[in-house]
Structure 1
């Protein structure tokens, strides 16, 4: 079991590399990797189940113990990222289907990798886990409603079915994971050890599949989409930190909220795009998965050097 744990840790630390490799492979071998598109939803469900096995009721109690930073983090997550996404689609006059994809990823909850990046950035991990957990639980309601608000003029949003889909893809697997943790107790540590390995393999496969299906769009608009994604992620980081600072939070809390705001559950964005829109709409989420892995690692390195210089 220690071998699995060590392998998971190593793969987790090098995720940005695997994300880039998977995108390149999907681009070079589109016929092969496009065939995995039908597994996007089940893969995300498995990842969410794994997330559920790592959660505890204390992760949700944090909002009672420390309501202000959790609520500020959630409000920033679900207001800033959709708004930034919408403004970017207007400024860059994006193709409607790509614009929907950009707004979609902005409306998604925080990503699980944000907890790892917060830890590496020496941020408040408990706060990060709480915001991720609660934003994920709120996603079936807030993600479709926000998408309707910011992208309703571009396409008809099937609110009821999308809410049901997110519940099936995210909430039910997480609840099953929580139940598994409750019933098995410490025995579930085997799953926890393997979780980073499974999650990263799954996300890498999703990235490769979306890149493969969107190869023609990448050739014509790939650079523009990449620029928009980088700006979306970066502005999210900066605004998250600024709002946390203005709210009077300490440095560890600022870093946690910064990362939570800037990093999205882009896997959910890909899954929803594949179910309700088109592979092209999933492209911003796929690129976001690659980029926020890179930017998260850079952010952690920045704070590591900053803390070292401050000593």
Structure 2
């Protein structure tokens, strides 16, 4: 049953958190900011990306994400709290999701305008970490960027459609699954990549590229794959994507360019704000669909879990002969983790059938659980540097 699976997920995540999220290092002070852009969402990326060297062997040196000046100062009490609080984000996510399922009244009352505003704030937070130079770095690794983009917008939508048909989901639930599969990567993947000892710089840029790509890919895929199943407002999906994704990123980049001191001042608070915003988004999405989630039973839970598990596994195994271990880990996590909160918003705004939004609400939980568990597994495996 769905309840048993949720209880099992709680136990699994607790064990995963105990192993993976050991005492936070000072280096995590920057990387943990990426958590804030949640599931989605749409989290906060590392506070400020330093210039990364592109070496002859073709990889970024992730150790250079932090630029030490002399002996690094010990973290303050606030930094330690922020790091630990941010690092445990999958646990907070699952707890608030369970609260939303069984005590939905409070969280379900959050209006759509507030939900949209929180997503916009998270995207703005990502925008203030980006510069034009960051996009230029994408050109240094075009091959792996293309592979990640195809995994996000070709493999995952088709996998969602195949799983839905195999498990006999209704047309509305199938539409919701495909919508989850066709949205951008979840920005919490940046933190999971760090935990997994992957290539954090590559993760950040892949998340950015798929997020920008959602502006045209998500409405296109929704129209092509879902047009025969349910009515699709492709234009509305495109407009909402521009409003929630593109505009906040542009405003954030302009803010970073014109007011760098302001960005630096708010940087220490962004991880905590991002975690809290993400928890509100997750809890609200789950609470609004609590009855259908329980009614759907284990079938929808299995479909959502397999979407994220198989997506990550195929990406990792499929690239083993082409790229090094760090790159394979990074692409696997990027492919597995989707911006499910954004998918929920699109389903709520542009699909008349209420059930279309239910898979996104379920995916919010499984995305965090699978992504963090994948990071735990990778962390305890050898991680040779890419050649």
TM-score range, shorter chain: over 0.9
1:96 alignment partner, one of 164, 171, 177: 171
1:298 corresponds to which of 359, 367, 373: 373
- Does 2:325 match 1:251? yes
Displacement of 1:37 in angstroms is 3.9
Select which of 127, 138, 145 maps to 1:52.
Answer: 127
Question: Any idea what SS the aligned residue of 1:65 has?
Answer: coil
Give the structure 1 partner of residue 91 of structure 2: 17
Q: Would you say the 8 A contact 2:285–2:341 is kept in 1?
A: no
Distance 1:79 1:119 in 2: 26
Contact 2:336–2:371 under 8 Å retained in 1: no
The equivalent residue for 2:346 is: 272
Aligned residues of 2:347 and 2:356 also touching (Cα < 8 A): yes
1:30 maps to 104
Asked whether the equivalents of residues 197 and 383 of structure 2 are also in contact (C-alpha less than 8 Å), the reply is no
Residue of structure 1 equivalent to 2:218: 143
Which residue does 2:305 correspond to in 1?
A: 230
Question: In the alignment, does 2:192 pair up with 1:117?
Answer: yes
Deviations 1:14-65 (A, max 9, x none): 1111111111211222222111142211111111111111223233112211
Q: Does 1:239 align with 2:314?
A: yes
Partner of 2:68: none
Deviation at 1:287, TM superposition (A): 2.2
CA distance in 2, matches of 1:159, 1:16: 32
Q: What residue number does 2:36 align with?
A: none
Unaligned runs of 5+ in 2: 1-74
1 or 2, which has the higher helix percentage?
1
Deviation, 1:2, is 5.4
Query: After the TM superposition, which of the residue ranges 151-160 and 51-60 deviates more from structure 2?
Result: 51-60
Q: RCO higher in 1 or 2 (8 Å CA, sep ≥ 6)? A: 1
SS in structure 1 at match of 2:382: helix
292-301 or 171-180, which deviates more: 292-301
Residue 284 (structure 1) aligns with: 359
Q: Number of paired residues?
A: 309
Instruction: Return the alpha-carbon distance in structure 2 between the equivalents of residues 237 and 272 of structure 1.
Output: 24
TM-score (structure 1 length as normaliser): 0.93
1:262 equivalent to 2:359? Answer no
| Distance (whole Å) between structure 1 residues aligned to residue 78 and residue 258 of structure 2 | 23
Q: Is the 8 A contact 2:222 2:234 kept in 1?
A: no
Question: Does the 8 Å CA contact 1:22/1:207 hold for their aligned counterparts?
Answer: yes
Q: 1:194 deviation in Å?
A: 2.4
